């Protein structure tokens, strides 16, 4: 999707739906956020931008690491998700960094130059319409010794949580025409060489990729069918089924459940995810 399409998507019904799903997504992705923060090594007292902060769950984790003398600004284009994020700050945490949120396009918003120590993102930077321009713009907000740290998905074929359910779904629906693999979307940054070149062109140095495999736990004690209904409601399958009728959707859920049964234990479906942790320096 183009940048304008992304804005419309995340502020329309999709944004409202993701806002309703925020608690579930926060639980699902918390291990990634914690591991990314460990990998980056956040300095207490620093200032940070959380790019694509969504519902703010990882913003709160970042604020905890930054401590009471730090500050973090969460930036997102989605009004519905930012409402969720702001609700999280109604409870005061004196030992956490000061948290605030801004509805804006991070690729264009005029942040104060050389004002932050860290650009951080958990799966929030793969949706830029022009990522090289966006990173070049964001780098200007970093102090001379500032750092960039983000997570992004490796290729869909390497992510079991996408690959296996999709294979089951294709018994009932067809894939659309192949899209540009580098178009804005969850897997746009899967190509390490491309992203490295893009960050170099944006002025970053000391660019490093670390591969991580994570366990993603879907479900909260319901049946296998209920859990698989949740699973097909996120990621590429959700968009694939966006125009499907209810009968087709139900057949897909049943096929996914049949293929996932070996991974379902005590109300939890555990599938693997393949992630890149990417770090870089401003100069």
Domain map (residue ranges) of the chain: 3-155+179-216+273-281
What pLDDT does 275 receive?
98
Task: Tell me how far apart the alpha carbons of residues 69 and 50 are, in angstroms, rounded to a whole number.
Answer: 17
**pLDDT at residue 283, rounded to an integer:** 86
pLDDT at 2: 65
Mind listing the pLDDT tens digit of every residue in the chain (283 residues)? 667 777 887 788 878 888 888 999 999 999 999 999 999 999 999 999 999 999 999 999 999 999 999 999 999 999 999 999 999 887 767 899 999 999 999 999 999 999 999 999 999 999 998 999 999 999 999 999 999 999 999 999 999 999 999 999 999 998 776 677 788 889 999 999 999 999 999 999 999 999 999 999 998 888 999 999 989 988 788 888 888 899 999 999 999 999 999 999 999 999 999 999 999 999 8
> Quick check: helix, strand or coil at residue 105?
coil
Cα separation, 202 vs 182, whole angstroms? 17
Query: DSSP label at 265?
Result: E
Query: What single string gives the DSSP state of each residue in 20-65?
Result: HTHHHHHHHHHHHHHHHHHHHTPPTT-EEEEET-TTSHHHHHHHHH
Q: Please identify, in words, the CATH class of the domain defined by 3-155+179-216+273-281.
A: alpha beta
Q: What are the C-alpha distances in Å from 203 to residues 36, 106, 142, 199, 209?
A: 22, 17, 11, 6, 17
Closest CA to 62 of 52, 75, 49: 49
Task: Give the DSSP letter of residue 221.
Answer: S
> 0.85 cut: is pTM over it?
yes
CA-based torsion, 49, 54, 58, 59: positive or negative: positive
| Residue 85 DSSP SS3 | helix
**Alpha carbon distance 174, 171 (integer Å):** 8
């Amino acid at each position: 999707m183009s940048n304008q399409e992304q804005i419309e998507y995340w502020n329309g019904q999709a944004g409202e739906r993701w806002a309703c799903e925020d608690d579930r997504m926060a639980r699902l992705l918390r291990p990634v956020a914690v591991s990314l923060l460990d990998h980056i090594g956040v300095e207490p007292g620093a200032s940070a931008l959380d790019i694509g902060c969504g519902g703010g769950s990882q913003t709160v984790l970042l604020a905890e690491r930054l401590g009471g003398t730090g500050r973090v600004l969460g930036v997102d284009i989605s009004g519905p998700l930012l409402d969720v994020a702001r609700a999280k700050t109604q409870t005061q945490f004196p030992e956490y960094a000061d948290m605030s949120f801004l509805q804006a396009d991070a690729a264009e918003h005029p942040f104060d130059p050389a004002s932050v120590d860290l650009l951080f993102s958990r799966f929030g930077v793969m949706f830029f319409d022009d990522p090289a321009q966006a990173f070049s713009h964001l780098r200007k907000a970093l102090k001379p010794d500032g750092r960039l740290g983000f997570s992004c998905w490796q290729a869909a074929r390497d992510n079991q949580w996408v690959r296996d359910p999709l294979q089951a779904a294709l018994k009932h629906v067809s894939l659309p025409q192949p899209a540009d693999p580098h178009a804005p979307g969850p897997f746009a940054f899967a190509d390490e060489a491309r992203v490295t070149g893009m960050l170099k062109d944006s002025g970053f140095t000391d660019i490093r990729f670390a591969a991580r495999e994570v366990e993603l736990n879907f479900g909260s004690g319901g049946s296998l069918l209920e859990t698989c209904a949740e699973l097909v409601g996120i990621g590429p399958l959700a968009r694939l089924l966006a125009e499907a009728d209810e009968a087709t959707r139900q057949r897909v859920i049943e096929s996914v459940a049949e293929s996932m049964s070996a991974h379902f234990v005590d109300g939890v479906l555990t599938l693997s995810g393949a992630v890149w942790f990417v770090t870089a320096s401003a100069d």
